[in-house]
Amino acid sequence: MQTVTDRSSPGAAPPGAAGPAKGPIANGRPRSSCLFLLTAVMLACLVGIAAPLAAQENQEAATGEEKTPFPAPKETAPQAPARVEVKPLARDHEIRERLEDILKATGWFMAPEARVNDGVVFLTGRTETAEFRKWAGDLARNTQDVAAVVNQIELIAPSIWDFQPAVEGLREQWRGVVRVSPFAVFGLLILAVTFGVARLSKAAARVSLRRHDINPLLQDLISRGVALVVFLVGLYIVFQVAGLTTVALTIMGGTGLLGIVLGIAFRDITENLLASIFLSVQNPFRNGDLIEIAGITGFVQMLTIRATVLMTPDGNHVQIPNATVYKNSIHNYTSNPNRRAEFTVGIGYDDGILTAQEVVLKILAEHPAILKDPEPLVLVENLGKSTVDLRIYFWLDGRQHSLLKVKSSVIRLVKRGFQEAGISMPDEAREIIFPDGVAVRLIAPEGVSQEPAVPQAFEPPETAATDAEGGLRSEAGEIQQQARHSRTPEAGQNLLKPPPEGA
């Protein structure tokens, strides 16, 4: 079979070429169709790859991120992604808008502005205090996705004629007063009620103590202590309601400490006060008692919280601090009315001691002011250089008779009795004793009788007391009368019990 070739065709094979191919693709049209199909497939692949890249570029343009090309990898290195995609939670403009809105809403800043660049916040504007400026910086640091803060807010220097801070301070004080007004009113009400209850408690305690016959000073101290306790309880309630429990406990605990401090600072005053309490409780003496304290003798006039007042027998007021009274020995001559007096008299060695004792005992037995029980005594006390000393003891009732007067009367009567009995009372200062005697011859002058003189007889006294001795009565009544008409130098309440009637 012979094949016909079209030489005019551009795709004709040149002479000497191989024979034509057999089959369907031997014609030129089927070959073009295959090339078109291959080109379409390649374009589809390119479109599938380019579409995601275009979408990524659009997203980068929207976020404002710049494209950073990666270096071309080597043929031997593993393929890395062309770009790492990070989606931020807050954009710079969102942070800026949020901060500016908050700063303007506070009203503390003038022309506030916030610029944000890559998470770094720049704050500008003006404010009045450093606290507001610091607050703005802390606010920016605590904002989400903020890396750093540059606080450029300026402080406004206050004017010297700006009274706004003073006005604001006064307003704040007034607000504080208004806020505490209800507590103040309630506290004053509680204190008023507590004061009334304290006075009633004091009066009730005083009445109760009077029924038990307690010393007036103790009555006053105990009643005042009860009132103080009631008042402190009310004060604690006021502080507790006001929320000042610590202050209340401090006050309650500080009362004891304050007492210790005052006791140390006013030691002498406190000592006298405590001594007056003990003396008024123990009652070692009463009004009108004759006592001796620290060498001072006198009749008790009054006992105050500071001193004990005495009226001495010579009519002087003496104030003895109660601490001294309490520490020293107290001689109370009135508690036991019987008092003993004594004195010494010397007789000559040639005189009989027994005779002298009988003379003295007879005088003491007949004396109206001397008590028979206890009985008087006449004792030999000492053998002196020129005398035998006799010690005479006797008792008297101190409420009726004066010790000084009775002693004076007894000495006078003993001297008279010794003279009547011929008992000598030599004085070693003016007499010299010759044991063997001295021969003396008396030469009477002319015209003088040689008869010895007869001693004059001593008349016995009509009474045991003379006018000079004042009747031997006690001078306590006279001194008390003088004390009632005199000015008492020590002011204050008398803490002593009055003397019993008839004393």
* pLDDT tens column, 56-72: 555 444 444 444 444 44
Which residues make up the CATH 3.30.1340.30 domain(s) of the chain?
A: 92-155
pLDDT for res 429: 62
pLDDT for res 224: 84
pLDDT for res 221: 77
334, pLDDT greater than 80: yes
Q: What confidence tens digit (pLDDT) does each residue in 455-480 have?
A: 444 444 446 777 677 677 777 777 77
pLDDT for res 277: 83
Higher pLDDT, 501 or 486: 486
Q: What confidence tens digit (pLDDT) does each residue in 242-263 have?
A: 776 666 666 666 655 566 666 6
290 backbone dihedrals φ, ψ, rounded to 5°: -90, 115
Per DSSP bridges, beta strands 377-383 and 307-311 are unpaired
pLDDT for res 183: 78
316, pLDDT greater than 70: yes
Cα separations (Å) of 180 from 75, 79, 167, 243? 84, 77, 20, 12
Q: For residues 328 and 331, what is the distance between their CA atoms, to the nearest angstrom?
A: 10
Q: Please, what is the average pLDDT of the chain?
A: 75
Cα separations (Å) of 50 from 46, 56, 320, 476? 6, 10, 123, 140
495 near 217, Cβ under 8 Å?
A: yes
Which residues make up the CATH 3.30.70.100 domain(s) of the chain?
A: 338-428+464-472
Percent of the chain predicted with pLDDT > 70: 65
pLDDT for res 439: 65
Highest mean pLDDT among 29-33, 144-148, 286-290, 418-422: 418-422
Q: What residues form DSSP beta bridges with 382?
A: 389
What the block records as the tokens of 108 is: 């503390």
Question: Where are any strands of DSSP class E within 328-406?
Answer: 330-332, 338-347, 377-383, 388-397
Alpha-helical (H) ranges within 26-75 are 28-63
Fold for 338-428+464-472, please state it: Alpha-Beta Plaits (3.30.70)
CA dihedral (39, 43, 46, 51) in degrees, to 10, reads -170
353, pLDDT greater than 80: yes
What CATH architecture is 92-155?
A: 2-Layer Sandwich (3.30)
Flag whether the pTM goes above 0.75: no
Mean pLDDT, residues 392-410 taken together: 90
Secondary structure element (H or E) that encloses residue 503, with its range: none
Which residues make up the CATH 2.30.30.60 domain(s) of the chain?
A: 285-335+475-503
Q: For residues 310 and 301, what is the distance between their CA atoms, to the nearest angstrom?
A: 5
pLDDT for res 443: 65
pLDDT for res 55: 47
CATH 2.30.30.60 at 285-335+475-503, yes or no: yes
Mean pLDDT, residues 367-381 taken together: 92
Per DSSP bridges, beta strands 120-127 and 148-155 are parallel
